[in-house]
Chain A
Amino acid sequence: GIQVEQSPPDLILQEGANSTLRCNFSDSVNNLQWFHQNPWGQLINLFYIPSGTKQNGRLSATTVATERYSLLYISSSQTTDSGVYFCAVESAVGAGSYQLTFGKGTKLSVIP
């Protein structure tokens, strides 16, 4: 099946700093989503971005499907950004399965 690798596994930031999280995947994808799992365990949709660039406030994401990677940018980080960020993809092989494969996540800690 499709492989999803996220880097870095852990990241500690000073409040106000910027960061880039990366997601590499091994096959063509129909679906790519970024999620934030907050300290209470809730999985929150950030972006649905199988290709292109999107922005939402301090967050933005870019997926270069031809090169099989996606980036999540966090600018002016806040303590509320802490948690685990997951990249999840649906392989284009066997299209229509709608099954997401998750990476292991990047654990972000923003310190005041």
Chain B
Amino acid sequence: DAGVIQSPRHEVTEMGQEVTLRCKPISGHNSLFWYRQTMMRGLELLIYFNNNVPIDDSGMPEDRFSAKMPNASFSTLKIQPSEPRDSAVYFCASTLTSTYEQYFGPGTRLTVT
């Protein structure tokens, strides 16, 4: 069974450009989470969806960040415009809410120059 799939795995972009990160959760899972990992702040939750509906986006750092989940098998995290301080590893995770256990994708390493 395929795990959580994220693309791209690496992204290098210039400040001011738009960046779109993609995630495909595990089939059948009904909750999806976006996390960001930096050396300074560790792993922090940005936003999560339940049954494709955004439930809590209080972790989204600024209006430059937006996330969508148009269907149960796809989500995007967009940063526009990107800034060097957005450089981090972005993880997507999914879970079946009846079991709680979260499974993480391989992450996208974003570098904004």
Residues on A facing B (Cβ under 8 Å): 30-31, 33, 35, 41-43, 45, 48, 50, 86, 88, 90, 97-102, 104-105
Contacts and interface: CB of A to CB of B under 8 A. Distances in A.
Interface residues of B, number: 23
A100 B89 contact: no
A19 to B, nearest CB: 21
- Grouping DSSP codes into helix (H, G, I), strand (E, B) and loop, the B interface class, with mixed when no group exceeds half, is strand
Contact of B95 (A98, A101, A102, A105): A98
A98 B109 contact: no
Contacts of A104: 42
A86 to B, nearest CB: 7
A98 B31 contact: yes
5 contacts: A30-B100, A42-B106, A43-B107, A48-B100, A88-B43
B101 A45 contact: yes
Contacts of B56: 97, 99
A23 to B, nearest CB: 14
Contact of B43 (A45, A97, A102): A102
B42 A90 contact: no
A98 B43 contact: no
B50 interface: yes
Contact of B101 (A41, A48, A86, A97): A48
A99 B43 contact: no
Contacts of B103: 45
Given A48-B100, A90-B100, A100 B45 contact: yes
A50 to B, nearest CB: 8
Given A98-B50, A102-B42, A105-B42, A41 B106 contact: yes
